[in-house]
Amino acid sequence: MKNTAILTALIMLALTACNKKTSEEPFVPAPVIPPSGSLPPGHPPINTGDQAATSSDTSDVIQSQTATVLSTINIPQFTYLEVKQNNQTRWLATSTSAAKKGDVIQFDNGSTMDNFKSKALNRTFPSITFVNHVTVIKGK
């Protein structure tokens, strides 16, 4: 009987501890701000006012390349674009894009991979360039 009382008390204590609600908001540490003027040359200014700001702002990406879309393949979260650029055909991959056949697009230099195997498409691309963002500049 004594053991049952102790066991019951321990279970109640454990259940009480499990019912404590924790904060729903994640802990975000304050940014470490170096003394003024100590950033490396060319480093963008640190945004101290808004911790929610992200670096995914596409206005900072230089879209120096232009091409015409020949075909598209959309899969969840990605778009593969077959494009014609300087009389050559090449493949691009980017986050989901509204570009369609006949559109003229701009994009950044990205990063090129040879013999890229897409598991989602069960296809190997001889060469594909992964770009950050595609902008349609002239729709069909």
Instruction: Determine contact, residues 95/77, Cβ cutoff 8 Å.
Output: yes
pLDDT score for 56: 43
The Cα-based distances of 76 to 79, 96, 97, 120 in angstroms read: 8, 8, 11, 9
Question: What structural domains does the chain harbor?
Answer: 62-138 (2.40.50.140)
Tens digits of residue pLDDT in 31-87: 665 555 566 666 666 554 444 444 444 445 677 889 999 999 999 889 999 999 999
Tens digits of residue pLDDT in 3-15: 777 777 777 766 6
pLDDT score for 51: 42
Point out which residues pair with 91 in neighbouring strands: 82, 128
Instruction: Determine contact, residues 94/60, Cβ cutoff 8 Å.
Output: no
Which of the two residues, 104 and 51, has the higher pLDDT score? 104
- Judge residue 112's burial from the number of C-beta atoms within 10 Å of its C-beta, 0-12 exposed, 13-18 middle, 19 or more buried: middle
Which of the two residues, 126 and 20, has the higher pLDDT score? 126
Torsions phi, psi for 25 (to 5 deg): -85, 135
